[in-house]
Amino acid sequence: MDVRYLAALGLATVSMSGCASGIGLRASDASALRLSRYHTFFVLDAASSGSTTTDARIRADLEGALDARGWVDVPRDEAQAVVVPHVATSGQQSYEAFYRGWGGWPWKDCAGASGATAASYTPGTLVVDIFDAESKDVLWSAVAPNAATASPDKSGGVTERAITRMFEAFPTMEPTGEEAEPVTRTDVSISSDVPRIIFEQAPAVLIQIDGMPEYKAIDGTGLTRVVNARPFIVRDDDGIHYMKVGDGWMQAYTLTGMWSLTGTVPAGAAAALARALEGRSTPIDLLEKTSLPAAPNQEGPAPAPAVHVSTTPAALIVTDGPPQFAPKEGTRLRYLQNTTARVLEEPTDQELYVHVSGEWYRAWTESGPWQHVAAADLPEDITVK
């Protein structure tokens, strides 16, 4: 089918031959040039058919159809686009039902969503929406009635043919001009209004540097001190950094590198620390709540903590072992129960939401990239106190 015809018509309806059910298909107006800039995707499980076998077939057939158009299935935190399949059932027959609880998703822009409040889809209808994975903007959508039958044993061929036909009109032409540049995932976690969010499953400490490190020589010691950080950190002539942590010291070859327990504290470090404590004009954090083993390579009261040094705004979330989510009473959300931080998971779109410094941020995975979420775009259950 000519994509330019689709663009002019806005919504096309075709018939699928060879199927007793006479499956119909409508595909939304899609910009061929815009879509041709996308090359990577992941499939997000959404409104289930009620059969794990049918859901798995839909996912596999979607992956195969997009692979045939030159797209590549990648991890969700690397994808340019997210493919969202829904199957209408007797309990969910409209866009409103499909996307109930999904914060920040402009699903009403999808083709057919104008009737969101009506039970407009008969059970077995397959609805496929494709969004930009970062902005959540709608890129493409299609609807195929009777594509997922109630019987998993009979749905295989019907579903495969429906999805194959659905993607016949999917744009594949090469872009030109400004549209020739591929879509790239911006690491929003390093933008000025989004902090670096770090997850750890073991003891850890976050060292915040106020901008790039500033060093000041400490007279008579041969050491220089990082003066724009609250912890006491010094550097010797060999460039090795030493940091006072509770009753002990840790060291690293670079400030933002790997920190370990110190074998030998440099000469002058103790005197430099005493001098800083005597004449301090700003608070010094000696990280006294952080425990260290008694000596390097020996068992002590606690393992040496992981040290994260950041020169940009950051937040550290430490869990007691692997993350453990549990249902949050009175909501559809799940909360991270083995941490003191406020971390929620929206099970419908499977995104993580983290509350840091009075603001909410979301990401597909703990490693980000993180994106600021305005209050109006939060899943409705997050506003429940």
Domain harbouring 158, CATH code? 3.30.160.670
- Residue range 100-146, pLDDT digits in tens: 878 878 887 776 665 544 557 889 899 999 999 888 888 888 888 88
> What confidence tens digit (pLDDT) does each residue in 27-71 have?
555 555 577 788 899 999 888 888 888 899 999 999 999 998 889
Cα distance between residue 51 and residue 62, in whole Å: 17
Number of structural domains the chain divides into: 3
Question: Which of 148, 180, 212 marks a domain boundary?
Answer: 180
Query: Measured between alpha carbons, how far is 163 from 146 in angstroms, rounded to an integer?
Result: 11
Assign 194 to helix, strand or coil.
Answer: coil
Determine the distance from the C-alpha atom of residue 348 to the mean position of all C-alpha atoms in its chain, rounded to a whole number: 14
Are 323 and 295 found together in one domain?
no
Calculate ∠ Cα 135-164-55, nearest 5°.
70
* Helix H or strand E segment including 278: helix 269-278
pTM above 0.75, yes or no: no
Q: How many helices (H) and strands (E) does the chain have?
A: 6, 23
> Does residue 213 share a domain with residue 169?
no
Roughly what angle, to the nearest 10 degrees, separates helices 52-68 and 152-166?
Answer: 20
Domain identity same for 264 and 368:
no
Which two tokens mark 334?
């799940």
- 73-97: pLDDT as tens digits: 999 888 999 999 999 998 888 888 8
Residue 193 has pLDDT above 80, yes or no: no
Task: Please check whether residue 142 is in contact with residue 166, taking contact to mean a CB–CB distance below 8 angstroms.
Answer: yes
Does residue 194 fall inside a structural domain?
Answer: no
Q: 26 and 117 share a domain?
A: yes
Looking at residue 133, the DSSP 8-state letter turns out to be T
Q: Are 148 and 211 contained in the same domain?
A: no
Is 192 within a domain? no
Of 222, 303, 298, 212, nearest in space to 266 by CA: 222
134 with 235, same domain? no
